[in-house]
């Protein structure tokens, strides 16, 4: 059965969720597209995943949900299908609800990868074939579900070696396994080791929750004159609230380029809007600009 446009709804799920800017972004996008989808925020925990999946199947109007921490793996067992990317990563950020012939099908996708790639593409200098170094290095702070998306993004961006800066190497095993699948050279390193390599990294991606990266400013050497990222080195901090984050401020003070996690949020959100609205052919540059305006982000 088709779902009447006037009754369509979507939401972002997570805990905590009060800080989320997704309702602003999605609301702006749907107005720009001229579609009626009510998008809200729902605070929920991993133990609520099964019950909420049942709601998606039984309550009328659902077209999909955005999924943030700590739910990126929790919903997977309760879905009918997973994209190849989600199967590879073991983490999702999008569930699409499809109504077909009287039945409901829940499919998991991951648009975090798209968000990271596009956010970094805006900041990374253009490279021309033979002039690019044979080894392009990156570092990822953390090894959780968002780090998995960051690894795939690094692969798509042509980076060849990734250091996972972690405090507990055992927690990095899933990420290391994914890196092998992607053909990336990868190692779990102490934060102090990453500090000594800052000048070698083209990209550093912090996948840590808000304020968690604050504790790494000292170990990374960003609180003294000896910790200097190479000019132009790009830091993407996926935590966008509060902004600027402490680590972003410290990075900029050493001449590094900073990309806000809000940019990632916008770009991954564009892909979610396509899934939820069912619209593929539109002026997506305009929609992206409208979403940027909604949260006060400079247009790409």
Cα dist. 94→64, 141, 169, 255 in Å?
7, 23, 28, 35
Chain-centroid distance of CA 81 in Å reads 21
- Buried b / exposed e over 219-230, threshold 16 CB at 10 Å, is bbbbeeeebbbe
Q: Active-site residue among 72, 85, 137, 267?
A: 72
Cα dist. 114→16, 103, 151 in Å?
24, 30, 12
- Compute the distance between CA of residue 194 and CA of residue 199 in angstroms, rounded to an integer: 10
274 catalytically annotated:
no
- Buried b / exposed e over 101-111, threshold 16 CB at 10 Å, is eeeeebbbbbb
Active site positions, annotated = 72
């Amino acid at each position: 059965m088709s779902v009447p446009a006037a009754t369509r709804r979507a939401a972002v799920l997570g805990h905590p969720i009060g800080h989320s800017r997704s309702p602003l972004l999605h609301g702006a996008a749907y107005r720009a597209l001229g579609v009626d989808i009510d998008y809200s925020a729902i605070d929920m925990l991993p133990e609520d995943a099964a019950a909420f999946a049942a709601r998606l199947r039984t309550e009328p109007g659902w077209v999909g949900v955005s999924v943030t921490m700590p739910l990126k793996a929790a919903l997977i067992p309760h879905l009918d299908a997973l994209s190849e990317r989600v199967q590879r990563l073991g983490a999702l950020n999008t569930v699409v609800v499809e109504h077909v012939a009287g039945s409901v099908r829940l499919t998991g996708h991951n648009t975090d990868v798209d968000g990271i790639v596009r956010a970094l593409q805006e900041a990374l200098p253009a490279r021309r074939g033979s002039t690019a170094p044979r080894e392009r290095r990156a570092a990822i702070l953390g090894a959780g579900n968002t780090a998995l998306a960051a690894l795939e993004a690094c692969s798509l961006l042509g980076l060849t070696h990734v250091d996972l800066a972690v405090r507990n190497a055992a927690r990095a095993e899933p990420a290391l396994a994914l890196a092998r699948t992607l053909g990336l050279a990868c190692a779990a390193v102490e934060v102090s080791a990453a500090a000594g390599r800052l000048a070698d990294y083209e990209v550093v991606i912090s996948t840590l929750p808000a304020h968690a990266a604050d504790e790494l400013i000292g170990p990374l050497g960003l609180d003294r004159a000896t910790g200097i990222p190479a000019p132009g080195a790009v830091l993407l901090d996926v935590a966008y609230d509060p902004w600027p984050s402490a680590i972003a401020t410290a990075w900029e003070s050493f001449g590094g380029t900073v990309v806000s996690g809000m940019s990632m949020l916008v770009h991954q959100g564009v892909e979610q809007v396509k899934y939820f609205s069912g619209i593929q052919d539109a002026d997506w540059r305009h929609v992206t600009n409208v979403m940027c305006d909604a949260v006060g982000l400079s247009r790409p």
